[in-house]
Chains A and B, each alone.
Chain A
Amino acid sequence: MQKIGITRRKLMKTLLALGAGSVFFSTLSPFARDGGKVWAFLGDSTPSLETFAALSSLITLHDDLDADSIARMYKVFMDEPWAPEHIEGLHKKIIGALSDEKKRPSLKDPVWKFTDGESWFAGHLLTTWYLGIYYHEERPTQRILYENALQFRAIKGVMPIPYLENVGYGAWTSPPEIKK
């Protein structure tokens, strides 16, 4: 599995670039100030919205998740009985490991020492962010995200988002112009 260079230093640099500090994170949602740019919320012990946002970024490796989408995901996930514990546990373990300046290994890597529940939850969160649909065997399936589901980032430029985007008459006769 390819690894990515997300380190604690990079996280902190990103936060500084956003003009964010610990005071800011303890008092004000970063989403309101930054139009959606989120990263890690370090140092809190409760699974706040900011912690959830940070964890989402660490799991998906997307550091610009949409603020409204984060809020919607958070609301649904926090309804799960074990979610607070898993969010907290995963967040701490990932942040802790990154503090060793290691690149983020695969979520399946034993280095994380995730519990079974945390491993499941990490996959659950990743799947929901990408599909935009919440699946849980004990809860109703529901769509949480549409155009902000991460699958559409992956195919941006090669396929229109169904219902919302169009390519224009006849554009389908040629391959899309892909911006590098």
Chain B
Amino acid sequence: MSDTVVEADVIIIGSGVAGAMAAYTLANKGVKVAILEAGPRIDRAAIVKKFTQSHKFDFSSGYPNEDWAPRPDWDPAEKPYFDHIGPAQANVEYLRNVGGTTWHWSGFAIRLHPEDMKIKSTYGVGIDWPFDYAELEPYYSEAEKEMGVSGDDKDPHPPRSKPFPLPPIPRSYSDKIIAPKLEKMGIKFSTPPAARNSRAYDGRSQCMGFGTCSPICPSGAQYAAVVHVNKSEKLGVRVLENTRVDRIITDASGKISEVHAKRPDGTDVTARGRIFLLAANGIESPRLLLMSANETYSKGLANSSGRVGRYFFEHPGLVCRMVMPAPVYPRGPEATMSSDNFRNGDFRRTRAGFTFSIHNFAHHFEATSDLLEKGAEPPSLDSAIRDRVVRMIDMSSHMEQLPSEKNGITLDWTRRDRAGQPVMKHYYSFSDYENAGFEAAKETFRHITKALDAELLSIQGPVTEHHPLGMAMMGKDKKTSVVDPHCRSHDHPNLFIVGTAVFPSCGMSRPTLTIAALAIRTAEEIARQLKKKRINRISTD
């Protein structure tokens, strides 16, 4: 096979957790797979070094942002990629490199709750998934095994058929100080499940306590999708890095015939397969569908519903920073304690629910900056920094948002990004539902600060969590959704889409575990259809 023409049973666009998990599942079933990834391969040690050389305090400045595979920069003013046109700004940021964005995720592997998937049926708001939690549950267990999820089976969780693969990560010293005080307020805590090794697992080390889970785990104890990229390659999957898909081509029957990609040197790559799996991330997947509009599909591919690029939602939240009255020495993995107290309840009919977690990281830089700005100087400066850092606590809320028709992206063909592709106009706003949720979270943080006898430094936000959801939504009705319950396009029988774009809702759970579970489920369906040679007609089951 040449480098300019790629052929496989399944062509996967994107090598993040969705693409990697799907490739691995398919390859294990003997399916011939090729992955096209826009960005380069990266090296963990090199990324760590780049972060120590960066002046930015973000999750992405250590990662490549190549001209041929540009991505949103943390500071949107620096390298315009989105044109934010709404009243709110979603700082959606992701990576384009082999392994995708799980290089810098927080590691939390949290299932959706059954009511999250039936939010319309349960609370009368939002959009239901086309199947229920029980359908997804076995795939959650499979994803947890693959990723190596640590969790406490004694904590309350959505129904589980299998125990966590790994024991829980122990709670931090600061958790132990804080929890008893807040439990007196009636707040209950649990250990958030995380794809972080509480013991050596799957060839990766036990967590070593670097405390930089985001933006990178220096030891590799935290799962990243590159694990399954590598495993897939060992099973024969071909991974073409630096191969940016610009266009998906349809034939006269409406099937996808091939995709066209470009390499950094300008050479063209054509990839042909029986099935195409779009796994390019919650923004790039709908963008590629819109960019691939043609005479027959003038609104973009898979877009007979008109919903591609629309109904965007996120996980907006608040960050509360406080100084405790006595040292709590925040150290350890990103967070080892969280609360679901404010997650579920009838209040979700009128306002967003939220969870919150307590972070094990003291913002030494901000502490130092703040003290310098206030005029602190040597010799007392060192002890002041130390005193502040050992008492500093961050809490963050993770809030649900409802999909909104007006939130989403459109393409501006008059402006191009560094790769020559149209700039996205991104409209983002909050509804009364989310605004009421923010107020509830603020009030809770104020109560917590008081209960801890802490000094409140700030409540910042809303800030989004870089979870772009909903812009190629799943559903049974082709008039109101982009893909069917098997994540297959209603319009193109051999096109499947995985990733956050297909989520109808996401509750307050970080989406990565659900992405992985859904990718495994979709890959199994693809394998089944390939076996039955049913791919030429629209599935009806």
Residues of A within 8 A of B (CB): 1-4, 59-62, 106-108, 123, 126-127, 130-131, 133-134, 141-143, 146-147, 150-155, 158-160, 162-176
In the complex, A60 Cα to B176 Cα: how many Å? 36
Check B209–A167 contact: CB distance below 8 A: yes
Question: B36-72: which have CB < 8 Å to A?
Answer: 48, 51-55
Check A168–B208 contact: CB distance below 8 A: yes
In the complex, A62 Cα to B378 Cα: how many Å? 9
Check B377–A160 contact: CB distance below 8 A: no
Check B209–A172 contact: CB distance below 8 A: yes
Complex contacts, B316 vs chain A, CB 8 Å: none
Chain B interface bracket (under 10, 10 to 19, 20 to 34, 35 or more): 35 or more
Check A168–B386 contact: CB distance below 8 A: no
In the complex, A144 Cα to B381 Cα: how many Å? 20
Check B173–A1 contact: CB distance below 8 A: no
Max chain A CB contacts within 10 Å: which of B216, B331, B360, B381? B331
Check A163–B55 contact: CB distance below 8 A: no
A160-B364 CB under 8 A given contacts A107-B377, A155-B385, A170-B170 = no
Residues of B within 8 A of A (CB): 48, 51-55, 170-173, 176, 206-212, 216, 218-219, 327, 329-333, 336, 360, 362, 364-365, 368-369, 372, 375, 377-383, 385-386, 389-390
A4-B333 CB under 8 A given contacts A168-B208, A171-B209 = no
Check A167–B372 contact: CB distance below 8 A: no
Q: Which of B170, B207, B219 contacts A173 (CB 8 A)?
A: B170
A106-B209 CB under 8 A given contacts A155-B364, A163-B52, A163-B216 = no
The residue in chain A whose Cβ has the minimal distance to the Cβ of B331 is A172
Q: Which of A61, A106, A155, A162 contacts B386 (CB 8 A)?
A: A155
B208 to chain A, nearest CB (A): 4
Check A2–B379 contact: CB distance below 8 A: yes
Complex contacts, A153 vs chain B, CB 8 Å: 382
18 residue pairs A–B, Cβ–Cβ below 8 Å: A4-B379, A127-B369, A143-B55, A152-B364, A154-B368, A159-B330, A160-B209, A160-B210, A160-B331, A162-B212, A163-B212, A167-B331, A168-B209, A172-B172, A172-B209, A173-B332, A175-B327, A176-B329
Complex contacts, B171 vs chain A, CB 8 Å: 173
A158-B52 CB under 8 A given contacts A108-B375, A168-B209, A175-B329 = no
B178 to chain A, nearest CB (A): 13
The residue in chain B whose Cβ has the minimal distance to the Cβ of A165 is B210
Check B364–A127 contact: CB distance below 8 A: no
B326 to chain A, nearest CB (A): 11
Complex contacts, A150 vs chain B, CB 8 Å: 382
Check A126–B372 contact: CB distance below 8 A: yes
Check A130–B173 contact: CB distance below 8 A: no
In the complex, A151 Cα to B172 Cα: how many Å? 23
Q: Which of A127, A158, A163 contacts B390 (CB 8 A)?
A: A158
Check A174–B173 contact: CB distance below 8 A: yes
